[in-house]
Amino acid sequence: MASLMDRLAAGEILVGDGAMGTLLMQRGLKPGECPERWNLDRPEILVDIARLYADAGADIVETNTFGGSPLKLAQYDLDFRTEEINVRAVRAAREGVDDRVLVAASCGPTGRMLKPYGDVDSEEVYAAFERQLRTVIAEGVDAVCIETMTDLTEATLAIRAARSLSSTTPVLATMTFDSTPRGFFTVMGVTIEQAVEGLLEAGADVVGSNCGNGIDNMVRIAEEFRKHTSCPLIIQSNAGLPRIENGLAVYTETPDFMAERADRMLDLGVNIVGGCCGTTPAHITAIRRVVNKHRSS
Amino acid sequence: MDILQQLSEQLQKGNAEQVAALTKEAISTRLDTRAILDDGLIAGMAVVGERFKVHEIFLPDVLLAARAMYAGLDLLKPLMIKEGIPTIGKVVIGTVRGDLHDIGKNLVGIMLKGAGFDVIDLGKDVPPEKFVDTAVSEEADIIGLSALLTTTMPVMQKVVDLARERGIYGRTRIIVGGAPLSAEYARRIGADAYCFDGIKAVECVKGFVGTR
């Protein structure tokens, strides 16, 4: 299979996968439970989810390692099992996709804030990312996907850790922005322009945005990203903001609605389109259809 | 510029060392403790809150300002106790059981402290009993509940029910906040108010304390 960067360079538009957490919750993940714990206890479910997304038409399937850095796992007293948790996640995803599609290692925030406004040193955060990423890169993932970042410094620490471990593994880096009357900012106050500059400078190959408050905002975010860079872009949107019905989160954006907006993003020159919270294999199938149509038009 | 104005400005910049030094200086020149608190620290935090609300500054700036505020508050606390200056109210806050998200809750705590309230922060993953037990033993005016997850929101109902059982419901007001919440949800579980953010929480708590 051609590498991620070769396929992007050849002009191919790739489809990402949908939500992991949403599917885990559908399968009984309890509130407060560590999602990555299932890599140890219920790997067959992760194999199944990877298979569902590959079947749905994703070109890239992510591992269940969003919270797989030891700093994050420490919240559940699982940091001593960092290697095992990350290795098992990669193997489960590989088994599920059965060499049909690329496997990217998900890497989310540590959940801790950096000094001076938080309580951790950048050395400690860097070491945490390095320990997680060393494991997944040694397992041979096809890419690393650093995502849902709001602090640019934290994002760049993860990118640099990945880069120091491998010069060839593609690094995808996405941040999460809120819409304000003054424009888009992350919770930590990072603008899209700053994100583009900082992420690329740290060594990311593909930049963009994930999660967020619905795909209409994401179209605008994509547009602004494209204004600031010609490098490959990835957008993975939530299926809207959840509404509560009978105590359960219901994401309101349908596969068809999201696929229609995804089509606009392709017009803007986005290179990888996938989903985040609330998106399902049905959303990915709909996006796949739009990408195929876009390709032939 | 007078010293309290300087104090407010250094607090807004998040300069903890300067805030501590200026607070000491203000105390040593025998400025009224209440004035140092109101016109220095609380005034500075109010500006921070306003600028945060309109997205001129962001979370890191607020956290740094809060740290500076605590540097001043720690010096004033002993004087306030000695002089018998009452706080305007006592609030028990925390993120509900099963939920480990505390950025929003911490912000609410900062804004409430910055407005002069006595805040008891129980942290995250707090069981319902602990909220109510603490509210009873501390004679709190308000319980503030936070949840980021749709799956942990129902714990809030348990806190309300427990407050009713223990007879503090109505006297100790219950406010709720967090991304998946709404005013409608607050009403449905019997909470006294839904607060969209820390600034709303301050308004709300002031209103409740003032109406007693």
**DSSP string of A33-95, one letter each residue:** --GGGHHHH-HHHHHHHHHHHHHHT-SEEE-S-TT-SHHHHGGGT-GGGHHHHHHHHHHHHHH
CA distance A265 to A145: 20
CA distance B198 to B105: 8
Write down all domains in chain B, each with its CATH number in brackets: 3-82 (1.10.1240.10), 90-210 (3.40.50.280)
Name residues whose C-beta falls within 8 Å of residue A26's C-beta, 6 or more positions apart in sequence: none
pLDDT at A116: 93
Q: Are strands A183-185 and A178-180 parallel, antiparallel or unpaired?
A: antiparallel
Q: Chain B residues contacting A, CB < 8 Å? A: 54-61, 63-64, 67, 97-100, 103, 125, 149-154, 180, 182, 185
Residue in chain B closest to A25 (alpha carbons) equals B151
The CATH number linked to A263 is 3.20.20.330
If we measure between CA atoms, which residue out of B171, B169, B142, B170 comes closest to residue B158? B169
In chain A the first and final C-alpha atoms are separated, in Å, by: 25
Of B59, B151, B154, the CB nearest to A188: B59
Task: Classify residue B188 by its DSSP letter.
Answer: H
Residues of B in contact with A187 (CB under 8 A): 58-59, 103
pLDDT per residue as tens digits for the range A47-65? 999 999 999 999 999 999 9
Report the greatest alpha carbon distance in chain A: 52
Contacts of B64 in chain A (CB under 8 A): 116-117
How far B90 CA sits from the closest chain A CA (Å)? 26
CA distance A104 to A263: 23
Contact B63 A188 (CB under 8 A): no
For residue B187, is pLDDT > 80? Answer: yes
Partners of residue B178 in chain A, C-beta under 8 Å: none
> Which pLDDT value is given to residue B101?
85
pLDDT at A247: 62
Out of A31, A188, A249, the one facing B99 most closely (by C-beta) is A31
Whole-number Å distance between alpha carbons of A67 and A106:
8
pLDDT value at position B212? 53
| Least Cα separation, residue B63 to chain A (angstroms) | 6
Phi/psi of residue B190, nearest 5 degrees: 90, 15
Mutate to test the interface with A, among B54, B57, B59 (most CBs of A within 10 A): B59
A275 Cα to chain B: minimum distance (Å): 19
Q: Which residues of A touch B99 (CB under 8 A)?
A: 31-32
Q: Which residue of B has its CA nearest to A111?
A: B101
SS3 B68: helix
Question: Which two three-digit tokens encode residue B167?
Answer: 């007879």
* Contact present, B97 and B125 (Cβ < 8 Å): yes
B119: CB partners within 8 A, 6+ apart:
B90, B91, B93, B109, B112, B113
CB A199 within 8 A of CB A207: yes
The per-residue pLDDT for range B99-131, each reduced to its tens digit, is 888 889 999 999 999 999 999 999 999 999 999
pLDDT greater than 70 at residue B211:
no
Each residue's pLDDT tens digit, A80-136: 999 999 999 999 999 999 999 999 999 999 999 999 999 999 999 999 999 999 999
Among B15, B51, B57, B58, pick the best mutation site for testing chain A contact (most A Cβ within 10 A): B58
Give, in order, the Cα–Cα distances in Å from B120 to each of B59, B130, B192: 21, 12, 19
In chain A, DSSP assigns E strands to 14-15, 60-62, 102-107, 143-149, 171-175, 178-180, 183-185, 206-211, 233-237, 243-245, 248-250, 272-275
Tell me the residue range of the domain where A286 lies: 4-296
Asked if B99 and B172 count as a contact pair (C-beta separation under 8 A), the reply is no
Contact A198, A152 (CB under 8 A): yes
Q: Do B58 and A116 touch (CB under 8 A)?
A: no
- CA torsion, ordered B75, B81, B87, B93, to nearest 10 deg: 70
Residues of A in contact with B152 (CB under 8 A): 31-32
∠ CA A260-A171-A74, rounded to 5°: 100
What is the C-alpha separation between A131 and A125, in angstroms, rounded?
10
Task: Write out chain B residues lying below 8 Å of A118, CB-based.
Answer: 63
Give the bridge partners for B146, in sequence order.
Answer: B95, B177
A114 forms beta bridges with: A120
Residues of A in contact with B54 (CB under 8 A): 181-182
| pLDDT < 70 stretches in chain A | 246-248, 297
Question: How many whole angstroms separate alpha carbon A126 and alpha carbon A133?
Answer: 10
The answer to whether the beta carbons of residues A49 and A35 sit under 8 Å apart is no
pLDDT in tens, B126-184: 999 999 999 999 999 999 999 987 778 899 999 999 999 999 999 999 999 998 889 99
Q: pTM value? A: 0.91
Q: Are B36 and B23 in contact (CB under 8 A)?
A: yes
Q: How many domains does chain A have?
A: 1
For range B201-212, the mean pLDDT: 86
Among the partner-chain residues A32, A117, A242, the one whose CB lies closest to the CB of B150 is: A242
Which candidate, A212, A215, A104, places its Cα nearest to that of A148? A212
Tokens linked to A137: 């890169």
Cα dihedral A188, A193, A196, A202, rounded to 10, equals -70
> Residue B89 corresponds to which tokens in the numbers above?
């109210």
Sheet containing B173-177, strands listed edge to edge, beginning at the edge strand earlier in sequence? B118-121, B90-95, B142-146, B173-177, B193-194
Residues of chain A with Cβ-Cβ distance to B100 below 8 Å are: 32, 75, 111
Nearest to A31 among B60, B67, B149 (CB): B149
User: What's B118's DSSP letter?
Assistant: E
Smallest Cβ distance to A32: which of B55, B58, B99? B99
Q: What percent of chain B has pLDDT over 70?
A: 99
Smallest Cβ–Cβ distance between B180 and the set A180, A182, A242 belongs to: A242
A32 → closest Cβ in B64, B100, B180: B100
CB pairs under 8 A between A and B: 57
B55 contact residues in A (CB cutoff 8 A): 180-182, 185
Give dist(CA A211, CA B110) in Å, integer. 27
Cα dihedral angle (B3, B5, B8, B11), rounded to 10 degrees?
-50
Cis bond before residue A255 (omega within 30° of 0) = no
Partner-chain contact B58 A185, CB within 8 Å: yes
Show Cβ contacts of residue B188 under 8 Å, excluding neighbours closer than 6 positions.
Answer: none
Chain A nearest CA to B211, separation (Å)? 32
CA distance B76 to chain A (A): 23
